[in-house]
C-alpha cells in the first residue's frame, strides 16, 4: 500500500488563545498575529507540492486555510471531524474561571484521563477516534500523495501520540504551537512522525496549546 504524507498545521493565534480561553467547538477569530502567521504558512507552502487542502470547519482553522489557499490555489475541503475536542461547560472560560465555576469538571478534565467526557462535551478518546477516522479516510482518498490539513492542538496531540507510541492517557510533555508545521506519514494503519513543531516560517515564537 502507498504512503500518504500529511502536513498537519495548527491554526494561527486567536483572540482567545491570547486571552487564555478554552475554545473547543466555540470560535474566536484570528488576531493580527494569527493572520500574519497564516499568511506566512501560505507563503511557505506556495513552494511545496501537495495534492489537497483540508480544514476543520471551525472558523479559526478555515481562516488559516483560506490564507494558504490564496497562496497555493488549492480548493479547501472542510470536514467537521477535524474539529477540536468539544469541551462542554468549560468552553469560553479561562482556566482560573473554569476551576472556580466548574471545579469538579475541571479537575476531572485535567486528571481523569482520556475517557472522561465533560458535561455537554466529549472525551479525548471520542475526539481522537473521529479525528483519526477522518485522516485515514483522507489517506485512502490520496494514496501515494501529500495532503495539507489545517486543524487544532487536540488533533495534533492525538496523532503525535499514535505516531510515537506515547500512551494516550498520559500527560502531554511536548509543545503544540500555533501555526506550526508538522509532517506525518501514514501507511496501512501505521503512523510515523517526520517533522514536529516547525515554525521557521514565522521568524518568531508562537503560543503553545497548553
Q: Which of 5, 13, 84, 122 is catalytic?
A: 84
Contact yes or no for 86/94 (Cβ under 8 A): no
Q: How far is CA 108 from CA 64, 69, 102, 138, 152, in A?
A: 32, 39, 10, 33, 22
Q: Does the annotation count 84 as an active-site position?
A: yes
Residue 102 DSSP SS3:
coil
Residues whose CB is less than 8 angstroms from the CB of residue 132 and which lie 6 or more positions away in sequence, other chains included: 158, 159, 162
Question: Does residue 151 contact residue 79 with C-beta atoms inside 8 Å?
Answer: no
Place of cell 488563545: 17
So which residues are the catalytic ones? 11, 84
Amino acid at each position: 500500500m502507498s504512503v500518504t504524507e500529511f502536513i498537519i498545521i495548527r491554526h494561527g493565534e486567536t483572540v482567545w488563545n491570547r486571552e487564555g480561553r478554552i475554545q473547543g467547538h466555540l470560535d474566536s477569530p484570528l488576531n493580527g498575529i494569527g493572520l500574519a502567521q497564516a499568511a506566512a504558512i501560505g507563503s511557505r507552502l506556495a513552494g511545496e507540492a501537495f495534492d489537497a487542502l483540508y480544514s476543520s470547519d471551525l472558523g479559526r482553522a478555515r481562516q488559516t486555510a483560506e490564507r494558504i489557499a490564496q497562496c497555493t490555489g488549492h480548493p479547501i475541503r472542510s470536514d467537521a471531524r477535524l474539529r477540536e475536542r468539544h469541551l462542554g461547560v468549560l468552553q469560553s472560560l479561562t482556566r482560573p474561571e473554569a476551576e472556580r465555576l466548574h471545579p469538579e469538571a475541571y479537575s476531572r478534565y485535567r486528571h481523569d484521563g482520556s475517557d472522561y467526557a465533560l458535561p455537554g462535551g466529549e472525551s479525548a478518546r471520542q475526539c481522537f477516534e473521529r479525528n483519526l477516522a477522518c485522516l485515514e479516510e483522507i489517506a485512502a482518498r490520496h494514496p501515494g500523495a501529500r495532503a495539507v490539513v489545517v486543524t487544532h492542538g487536540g488533533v495534533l496531540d492525538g496523532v503525535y501520540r499514535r505516531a510515537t507510541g506515547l500512551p494516550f492517557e498520559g500527560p502531554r510533555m511536548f509543545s503544540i504551537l500555533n501555526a506550526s508545521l508538522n509532517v506525518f506519514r501514514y501507511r496501512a494503519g501505521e503512523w510515523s512522525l517526520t517533522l514536529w513543531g516547525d515554525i521557521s516560517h514565522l521568524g518568531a515564537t508562537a503560543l503553545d496549546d497548553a
